[in-house]
A and B are shown apart, each in its own frame.
Chain A
Amino acid sequence: MKKLIFLIPAAFIIFTLSSCSSKPDVIYDLSNKDYTLINSDSSVVHFPGDFKGKTVVIGFIYTHCPDICPMTTHNISLVKHELGKQGANNVTYADISFDPDRDKPSVLKEYADVRGINTNQFHFLTGDKKTIKELLKDCNIYAIPGDTTIVGNDTSYFFIHTDRISLMDPEGKIRAEYKGSTANREELIKDINRIR
């Protein structure tokens, strides 16, 4: 009986320590994939290969979104700021557009600039439609164009879409997902520190 009294707390401590330090399970393995994307400087980015060795915080957005996607970008910016203070230099940040028709590199650049985001550390990525479609499918992201709205002489459309921030480990494996616009940043940072 005495042994049992010692064993139960010991087992609890071991379980707690191991669950705090172990990485979350792999959700999607992109480590063998190579999506050719373009960043806001019009440079080619091989995703996820070019980010190998870094944990990547990924938001899925479109720049014409007035409400939800800017919240996702803002959440990532705040996480970046906080981790910067912690000296976490093996983490990088990316927004991937699911609207490649409109989100050309210059549009992504402007989206970042107007928010004061340095694109050397926070990457804004787009690509050709086929590549983006494949990447979205592999990450289980849905983006369905909604009704077209006439704005002046122009037309505009908005998406019904997955609201997502994903965490990718340094090997290119997605290990955690959050609701992008309302992600709990403390939880995100805790998970990043478990993964990186």
Chain B
Amino acid sequence: MYIFLILVSLLNFSYGGKLEVKNGWVRPAGKGMNTAFYFKAINNSDKTDTLLSVKSSVAKMVQMHETFSKNGMMGMRQIKVIPINAKSTLEFKPGGYHVMVMNLKKDLKIGSLAEFTLHFKYAGNITVKAPVKMPGD
């Protein structure tokens, strides 16, 4: 099972090879709770693309957020769209950009998979099956 998940997490989901989404993963969380989805989006094209939205059927609401630090306090704010420059990588990671997955419809247990569809301005929709795991696993 774990070998399968590792293989899935290493898969690249790409659109014509110009935009790849890889290393997606989700923190475990229970039904009704919130969690975060992280990944890398690699723009191999010669023009800037833009991540417009992320959708998933695992939660009642999904938004792009960034974590910020101000006066020693931590908070989060919604980001409507995120540009990805040509020939560059955008990383969603703990403590930074993350996809906020709110009010889960079911438990996301370690070892399961959660599907997300990322909508880019030029690359269109890219669907990712992300393993549910602890960071570093």
Contacts and interface: CB of A to CB of B under 8 A. Distances in A.
B107 interface: yes
A156 B60 CA distance: 12
B95 A65 contact: no
B95 A162 contact: no
Interface stretch (A3-11, A66-74, A121-129): A66-74
A17 interface: no
A173 B51 CA distance: 48
Interface stretch (B6-14, B16-24, B31-39, B41-49): B31-39
B27 interface: yes
Given A161-B73, A162-B72, A154 B98 contact: no
Contact of A116 (B61, B72, B100, B110): B110
A110 B101 CA distance: 17
A110 B36 contact: no
A158 B76 contact: yes
| Secondary structure of the B contact surface, majority rule | strand
Contact of A152 (B27, B35, B103): B103
Nearest to A156: B102
Q: Is the interface on chain A under 10, 10 to 19, 20 to 34, or 35 or more residues?
A: 20 to 34
Interface residues of B, number: 32
Given A66-B35, A158-B75, A114 B94 contact: no
Contact of A66 (B36, B72, B74, B75): B36
B124 interface: no
B25 to A, nearest CB: 13
A63 B75 contact: no
Nearest to B99: A66
B123 interface: no
B96 to A, nearest CB: 9
Contact of B30 (A110, A159, A182): A110
B61 A152 contact: yes
Contacts of A116: 110
A74 B135 contact: yes
B29 interface: yes
Given A66-B27, A67-B36, A181-B94, A161 B102 contact: no
A163 interface: yes
Contact of A156 (B29, B34, B35, B95): B34
A116 B60 CA distance: 25
Among B28, B33, B98, chain A packs the most CB atoms within 10 A around the CB of: B33
A110 B108 CA distance: 12
B67 A67 contact: yes
B13 to A, nearest CB: 22
A187 B65 CA distance: 30
B30 A111 contact: yes
A136 to B, nearest CB: 13
B109 interface: yes
Given A70-B27, A111-B33, A161-B74, 20 more contacts: A66-B76, A66-B100, A68-B95, A70-B35, A71-B94, A71-B95, A74-B134, A74-B135, A110-B33, A114-B29, A114-B109, A114-B110, A151-B102, A151-B103, A152-B103, A156-B34, A156-B102, A161-B73, A161-B75, A181-B95
